[in-house]
Every structure is written in structure tokens, then in C-alpha cells.
Structure 1
């Protein structure tokens, strides 16, 4: 997202970033994980697992 104008910070460490078509909300992974190494995300009827690895990478699994 380099070079895109930042609209402004939100509560909870989130930022709004303007793109050519829409404004996209940016959220720090630490805000999602809340100190844990994984969380589950429900999307429709599916459940996904977001995991933080020992190397600091994120993995999204179905």
C-alpha cells in the first residue's frame, strides 16, 4: 500500500487507506490475534484458521 494516501487513524490501531476505487480498512495483525498465536474466522458457512508462525509469518488455512 505504499504511495497510497492515508485517510486517518481509527480506534484500536486501525487505519483507513484510500485506493482509487474505495477506502480499505487496515488492521494490525496484533489487534486481530490479541496476544494469541491463532484465531478462527467464520466466512459464510466456512471456518478459517489464521495462525502466527514461530518465524512471524501468517498462515490462513481452511
Structure 2
């Protein structure tokens, strides 16, 4: 774990999401763990297929 809190990508998740949830209620999954060897993940939700991809600029894009 980093000694600098600003280096921790999960440090401000509740603030970014605008929620005050107890940590025991959150499920945090890193995109790299989901995508394994690539830059995209396909998600099935309510019978529809969505693509979550990482851009070169470090952003995530969800498309239907």
C-alpha cells in the first residue's frame, strides 16, 4: 500500500460517487482484474450486451 493517500485509487471512491456507504457494503473490482489481458470487458445485463473499454487517455467507455 502506498504511503501517499493520493496514490490510492480507492481513497476517494465514496466522495466521487456521492455516497456515504460503509466499506463492508461496497464491492470494488479493479478494471485490470476484470479485463485480464485486454482493454475491454463484455457485460450481459438484463439480456443485453454492453462493452466496457479502457481508452488510451485512461478513461472508461460503456457502450451498448
Structure 1 length as normaliser, TM-score?
A: 0.63
Root-mean-square deviation over aligned CA pairs: 2.5
The runs of 5 or more residues in structure 1 that have no matched partner are: 5-17
Aligned residue in 2 for 1:2: 12
- Equivalences, count: 48
In the alignment, the residues of structure 1 paired with residue 13 and residue 59 of structure 2 have an alpha-carbon distance, to the nearest angstrom, of 24
Q: Higher helix proportion, which one?
A: 2
The runs of 5 or more residues in structure 2 that have no matched partner are: 1-10, 15-19
Structure 2 length as normaliser, TM-score?
A: 0.61
Deviation beyond 6 Å, 4+ runs, structure 1: none
Q: Higher strand proportion, which one?
A: 1
